[in-house]
A and B are shown apart, each in its own frame.
Chain A
Amino acid sequence: MKHKPMKHLLIIPIALSLLIISPLLSICFGAADISFSDVFAIIYRVFGGEAEVDAIKERIVLELRFPRIILAFLAGAGLSLSGAVLQTVTRNPLADPYLFGISSGASFGAVLVIASVGAASSMVSITGGAFLGGALSVLLVVSLAGMGVQIERMLLAGVAVQFMFSSATSLVLYLSDPQAAASLLFWILGSFTRASWDNLLLPFVVITFCLVVFLAFTRPLRAILAGDESAKSLGVEVYRLRIGMLLLSSLLTATLVASCGGIGFVGLMVPHIVRRILINQSQYILIGSAIFGGIFMIWVDVLARMLMENSELPVGVITAAMGSMFFLLVLKRRTNSA
């Protein structure tokens, strides 16, 4: 297969400039009228410069919009990373945190905590609930799939576990009264409204930790892509690596589900796009997925804030709509080229 080294060289500056421009531009969108020059002046002030800025605008930017954009970036990066790793260890291009039931397990855990403790439930208890749910789903998938860890069995078990947890979540929703159910549903569909500087630390630490571990295992992960047997012949402990990666992905997903609800399709879509851009550069797929996933989510959140006046759309609805369109396009292109 041919590939152009020039094209790959161009991607780095493009990614970097998108990484800087996206947060700065997206911060201008919201209910309050804040211009790009306001944002610039506020950032200038943060770094010790002197500039005239409306105090309330400064607080809106620094305390509401910045944490929100960072959370959106972290969520996009984390979910894409999780999707990229799951697709690699299962050698299945359709694998993502949803398919393994991790998201639905984590959602169920978090929903159960919110429904039983109420709106007062703290971030720690929701994260705990989400992680327990996510870990339980991985445990179920692994035990259902058996010790042989055949990928097909694993995927089927994942689908079964996903349905099981989804039905349990539906039951909790059904039993809640309409206001509480609307609140839970809004949360299940994903939103960054909870973002604040205090609750950014946990997702940041977890994502950085997982990214470092995933990057450290780039070589064995690439070996798995070539098949279990050949990976084993290269000395890779396939079973342990796979379980370890699954557990880390579930930690990643659970942390994100706890901070911003269930956001589907990103983990599926972004690694696909990145793979198309970075043909034959599989060592960069993980980091590329994280960066593009983050940037993508920043703009999805802008859409969520801006599509309806005076109201916010759940982020998960937008990602799912875009995800399905994306797959239809891919399918159409494949059918045309066939």
Chain B
Amino acid sequence: MKCLTYFLGLTFFLASFSSAEEKQSTSIQRIIALSPHSVEMLFTLGVGDRIIATTKFSNFPPEAESIPRVGGYNGIQIEKILSLNPDLIIAWIDGNKIEDIEKMEKLGLNVYRSKTRSLDNIPNELILFGEMLGVQASGQNAANAFNARLEKIRTENKTKSSVRFFYQLWDEPLRAVAAGSWINSVMHACGGANVFNDPNFDYPEVSIENVLISSPEVFIIPSHHGTYTAGVEKWRKWPEIPAIKNNQIYFIDGDLLHRFSTRILDGMDQVCDAFDKVRASRLGALTNLNIN
């Protein structure tokens, strides 16, 4: 008889637990977003107010600045996350420590692993988040808008001549991006041809000599968390590089280019504009040549 009571108790307990879980999946209210891009995406979907915690560099939109922090690159405060009792944690495979993600999963937390690695994955995640959070229409609309704008950029630049670019990711050590990187696909959509195509490293370390002999037509220098670490002073003495000779150096907000959010399209617009200016300067040089 005692056994039967225990059995019934256990059945009731499990039933109540699974129904709670069901209820949670339909209305996720307490979200911990562990990457700047997931925070931006949730705000795009109009559910930014459900974020109860995030990581160090989530600074956009401005409302995101007031969200409490639970860690950064160096790791996540899992105890704090547990105490916040979240319904969903959006982890980021390339930005969070895999040990932290696995630990949260082992602790029974509801973890989604965001793995946005290409431009086309951004709309997919917008749709997925929309479905997960019960805002399907917003997700679908945001994805459609993103796809339409991306397609427009791609079509506009498809027939333009290619521009040889050097993306100076970091100053010391001098680091570029190579063909396999995410940034390269962004540049490619604007008609950029990377001067570094190292198949082994996505972010190869290069020397001044490497840049000199690859003679790029344009330098793109991104900021990091709002500050530009790299100056152009050291390049000024190398007018042998076409980009330096023609003053084709463009500084672009790194947050626009390095985050997998819809703002990447704003960054792409700036890159495409820069490449158009390079093409125009070529034309200018040609006209001067004809006049002379």
Listed in ascending order, the chain A residues whose CB lies under 8 Å from chain B are: 30-32, 55-56, 59-60, 63-64, 118-120, 174-175, 177-180, 182-183, 186-187, 191, 193-194, 305, 310-312
Q: Is the CB of A59 within 8 A of B173?
A: no
Smallest beta-carbon distance A130→chain B, Å? 16
Smallest beta-carbon distance B237→chain A, Å? 8
Q: Which of A183, A191, A311 contacts B170 (CB 8 A)?
A: A183
Smallest beta-carbon distance B120→chain A, Å? 26
Which residues of chain A come closer than 8 Å to B225, judged between CB atoms?
Answer: 177
Query: How far apart are the CA atoms of A182 and B204 in the complex, in Å?
Result: 13
Q: Is the CB of A60 within 8 A of B212?
A: yes
Query: How far apart are the CA atoms of A194 and B173 in the complex, in Å?
Result: 9
Given contacts A119-B171, A178-B73, contact A56 B231 (CB under 8 A): no
For residue B229, CB closer than 8 A to chain A, the reply is yes
Q: Is the CB of B172 within 8 A of A119?
A: yes
Which residues of chain A come closer than 8 Å to B256, judged between CB atoms?
Answer: none
Which residues of chain B come closer than 8 Å to A177, judged between CB atoms?
Answer: 57, 72-73, 224-225
Q: Is the CB of B209 within 8 A of A187?
A: no
Q: Which of B72, B170, B198, B231 contacts A310 (CB 8 A)?
A: B198
Which residues of chain B come closer than 8 Å to A119, judged between CB atoms?
Answer: 171-172, 229-231
Q: Is the CB of A56 within 8 A of B210?
A: no
Query: How far apart are the CA atoms of A179 and B172 in the complex, in Å?
Result: 10
Interface size class of B (residues with CB under 8 A): 20 to 34
Chain B positions 158 through 172: 1 when the CB is less than 8 Å from some CB of chain A, otherwise 0 = 000000000001111
Q: Is the CB of B206 within 8 A of A56?
A: no
Query: How far apart are the CA atoms of A177 and B209 in the complex, in Å?
Result: 28
Q: A177-B72, A193-B208, A312-B173 are in contact. List 8 more A-B contacts (CB 8 A).
A: A31-B209, A59-B240, A118-B227, A118-B229, A179-B229, A183-B173, A310-B196, A310-B204
12 contacts between A and B (CB under 8 A): A32-B213, A119-B171, A119-B172, A119-B229, A174-B74, A177-B225, A182-B170, A191-B173, A193-B172, A193-B174, A193-B208, A311-B205
Given contacts A32-B212, A310-B196, A311-B204, contact A186 B173 (CB under 8 A): yes
Among A59, A305, A310: residue with most chain B CB under 10 A: A310
Kindly identify, within residues 224 to 239 of chain B, every residue whose CB is under 8 Å from any CB belonging to chain A: 224-225, 227, 229-231, 237-238
Smallest beta-carbon distance B14→chain A, Å? 44
Which residues of chain A come closer than 8 Å to B210, judged between CB atoms?
Answer: 31, 310
Which residues of chain A come closer than 8 Å to B74, judged between CB atoms?
Answer: 174-175
Given contacts A120-B231, A174-B74, A310-B196, contact A31 B207 (CB under 8 A): yes
User: 4 closest A-B pairs (Cβ-Cβ)?
Assistant: A31-B209, A119-B229, A186-B173, A31-B210
For residue B17, CB closer than 8 A to chain A, the reply is no
Which residues of chain B come closer than 8 Å to A312, judged between CB atoms?
Answer: 173, 205, 207
Query: How far apart are the CA atoms of A177 and B231 in the complex, in Å?
Result: 19
Q: Is the CB of A310 within 8 A of B229?
A: no
Which residues of chain A come closer than 8 Å to B224, judged between CB atoms?
Answer: 177, 179-180
Q: Is the CB of A31 within 8 A of B173?
A: no
Residue of B nearest to A191 (CB): B173
Query: How far apart are the CA atoms of A63 and B196 in the complex, in Å?
Result: 23
Query: How far apart are the CA atoms of A311 and B173 in the complex, in Å?
Result: 10
Q: Is the CB of A193 within 8 A of B230?
A: no
Residue of B nearest to A181 (CB): B73
Which residues of chain A come closer than 8 Å to B201, judged between CB atoms?
Answer: 310-311
Q: Is the CB of B204 within 8 A of A31?
A: no
Q: Is the CB of A179 within 8 A of B170?
A: yes
Smallest beta-carbon distance A188→chain B, Å? 12
Residue of A nearest to B208 (CB): A64
Which residues of chain A come closer than 8 Å to B169, judged between CB atoms?
Answer: 179
Q: Is the CB of B172 within 8 A of A187?
A: yes
Which residues of chain B come closer than 8 Å to A194, judged between CB atoms?
Answer: 172
Which residues of chain B come closer than 8 Å to A183, judged between CB atoms?
Answer: 170-173
Which residues of chain A come closer than 8 Å to B206, judged between CB atoms?
Answer: 310-311
Query: How far apart are the CA atoms of A51 and B238 in the complex, in Å?
Result: 22
Which residues of chain B come closer than 8 Å to A60, judged between CB atoms?
Answer: 209, 212
Which residues of chain B come closer than 8 Å to A120, judged between CB atoms?
Answer: 229, 231
Given contacts A30-B209, A311-B204, contact A186 B198 (CB under 8 A): no
Which residues of chain A come closer than 8 Å to B231, judged between CB atoms?
Answer: 119-120
Which residues of chain B come closer than 8 Å to A59, judged between CB atoms?
Answer: 238, 240
Query: How far apart are the CA atoms of A174 and B74 in the complex, in Å?
Result: 7
Query: How far apart are the CA atoms of A172 and B275 in the complex, in Å?
Result: 39
Which residues of chain B come closer than 8 Å to A64, judged between CB atoms?
Answer: 208-209
Smallest beta-carbon distance A71→chain B, Å? 14
Query: How far apart are the CA atoms of A241 and B205 in the complex, in Å?
Result: 45
Query: How far apart are the CA atoms of A312 and B172 in the complex, in Å?
Result: 12
Which residues of chain A come closer than 8 Å to B208, judged between CB atoms?
Answer: 64, 193
Which residues of chain A come closer than 8 Å to B173, judged between CB atoms?
Answer: 182-183, 186, 191, 193, 312
